[in-house]
Structure 1
Amino acid sequence: MTTMRLGWQRTRYEVRSFFRERDAVIFIFAYPVIMLAIFATVFGQGGATVGDDIPFAQYFLPGMIATGILLSSFQSMALDIAAERDRGGLKRLRGTPLPPASYFLGKVGQVLVTSLVQLALLLAVAALLFDVSLPDSPERWFTLAWVFLLGTATGTICGVGFSSLPRSAKSASAVVTPVVLVLQFISGVFFSFFQLPSWMQEVSSIFPLKWMAQGMRSVFLPDGAAALEPAGSWELGLVALVLVVWLVIGLVIGVRTFRWQRRGDS
């Protein structure tokens, strides 16, 4: 069997395994939806809006899509691979004929499937419950597609690279979760990005979540909302560049640091 076909078989296995983990499924799928509902309800009371009459649900949806991608890709990969390594699953897998490339293709495929399901769920909830307007032009749908795909790929590769940092499955959550939470708070997910302190905006601009959220805002917000961004525009070219740079960084780190067995194992 070819590497690609084995990767497809591995994807099917990874997807089935993911949906058997009910706690993880509920958290990854429900968290962005619940947060969107909370922020849209609390901050949108009395018809309050953001900036130029943008409903709060409309403004926060892009950030929730971005953070959903981060959870499904970066956090999921970093935790799952660390757990598989700690249980000895990666060591046993390394002794099988399965090519390493097929294993990683399976991980990428699983993330794409779960991220697509999560995106569809978020869009449905936003449109049906909060009357959020969906993209109204092919150009906006195209931007949604490439930001989603590039953000998912970047998050997945960075998650694979980051998975070598925790020393065990028990410590993985303590290492990964704070990173995800901090990025959410400084990247305009829970707050209007233009209202954050300038130093926080500058720090967040180093990391991909800020750019994923900004790219998604260009899809769901009116063109005039670009004036609320620090640069006064959506900077989609820079969005793509930063995500590609992090994709390359994650790939280099992953190649250099990925381990099939626990530290100390021979």
Structure 2
Amino acid sequence: MSRVARIATETRAASRSFLRRRTAVFFTFFFPVILVVIFGALVRTQPTGGGLFAEPAGYYIPGYLAVVVLFTPLSRVGSEIARHRDGGRFEKLATTPLSRAEWLLAHAAVNVGIIGAASLLIFGLVLAVTDATLAFTPALAVLPVFVAVAVALFCGVGAILGAVADSQDGVIAASNTVALPLLFLSETFVPPTLLPAWFRPAMAASPLTYFARGTRAITSGAGGWTGELLLLVALAVVFLAVGAAAVPRGE
């Protein structure tokens, strides 16, 4: 069996496993929808009015997308590793030709599909219930690429968290500890101007910053997203490689 066939087989198995967990499927889509409804339709933005939501509604599109791009792969991949380890499945996988990198790529592919669908839902909902405007340019075709690359990157981070944490509860705690600061300190919902000047350079250390900058440049029609995508791709390769190395071999 070729490498592509092995990855495809594991991808199908992981997809079926996810779809059988109806609660996980429901909240993967429900949580970001609730977020959009609360902050987009109820709280609303107040341009020039000061405060947290002082930017035009379109500014926050990357933030809404970042919710699923960040939280879902961290928790799903990390929890999957914890479940496999607790159930002794890595010992069984060690007897098959499937490598750790192939296993992670297969689960990253599943997450790209799931989160891609969730992102499409969020994108449409934001445009429907908020005052956000969208620049219809050819660059919009690159938006799914940003989502896919960012999901793959955070799947690598999730694999690292899953390998380090000693239980599924530990994975969830670690995922939230990592995700919450990144979500609000990566030019998503909080503009850099609202943060202390000494902290702003540190935002460049967050991979989510490049996702937010790139997607915002695309949706606003500002351009200049190429460098952000290249940086995101490079970081995705690094984190996937480290994450694959961290996947347990079996104990």
Shorter-chain TM-score above 0.5: yes
Question: For 1:240-251, what aligned pairs fall within 5 Å after superposition?
Answer: 240-251=229-240
AA at the equivalent of 2:180:
L
CA shift in 2, pair 1:200/1:131, >3 Å: same
Task: Report the count of equivalent residues.
Answer: 247
Q: Which residue of 2 aligns with 1:228?
A: none
Contact 2:78 2:159 in 1 (8 A): yes
AA matched with 1:219: I
**Equivalent residues of 2:94, 2:249 under 8 A apart:** yes
Q: Which residue of 1 aligns with 2:77?
A: 77
Q: Is the 8 A contact 2:11 2:107 kept in 1?
A: yes
Q: Residues 1-266 of structure 1: matches in 2 within 5 Å?
A: 1-44=1-44, 48-49=46-47, 55-56=56-57, 58-130=58-130, 132-139=132-139, 141-223=140-222, 236-261=225-250, 265=251
8 Å Cα contact 1:15/1:113 also seen in 2 = no
Structure 1 portions without partners, runs of 5+: 224-233
Q: Is the 8 A contact 1:111 1:152 kept in 2?
A: yes
How far the C-alpha of 1:159 sits from its partner, in A, is 2.1
Shift of 1:114: 0.4
- Give the deviation of 1:157 after TM superposition: 2.2
Structure-2 change in CA distance of 1:235 and 1:79 (3 Å):
farther
Shift of 1:118: 0.7
Alpha-carbon distance in structure 1 between the residues aligned to 2:22 and 2:150 = 25
Shift of 1:50: 5.9
What does the per-residue CA deviation read over 1:85-104, in whole Å, with 9 as the maximum and x for residues that have no partner?
22222222222344445423
Please tell me whether the aligned partners of residues 39 and 60 of structure 1 are also in contact (alpha carbons under 8 angstroms). no
SS in structure 2 at match of 1:164: helix
Residue 122 of structure 1 deviates from its aligned partner by 0.7
Instruction: Quote the offset at 1:65 in angstroms.
Output: 0.8
**Compared with structure 1, are the counterparts of its residues 36 and 123 closer, same or farther at alpha carbon in structure 2 (3 Å cutoff)?**
same
CA drift of 1:209 comes to 0.9
Residues 1:171 and 1:73: Cα distance change in structure 2 (over 3 Å) = closer
The TM-score with structure 1 as length reference comes to 0.80
Q: Is the 8 A contact 2:19 2:25 kept in 1?
A: yes
The one-letter code sitting in structure 2 at the alignment partner of 1:144 is L
Aligned-residue offset at 1:202: 2.3
SS at match of 1:11: helix
Q: Could you say what secondary structure the match of 2:163 adopts?
A: coil
Alpha-carbon separation, structure 1, partners of 2:126 and 2:93: 41
Q: Deviations over 1:5-48 (max 9, x none)?
A: 23212212211211222332233222222222222234426xx3
Q: TM-score, normalised by structure 2?
A: 0.85
Gapped regions of structure 2 (runs ≥ 5): none
Greater Cα shift, 191-200 or 163-172:
191-200
Counterpart of 1:226 in structure 2 is none
SS at match of 2:164: coil
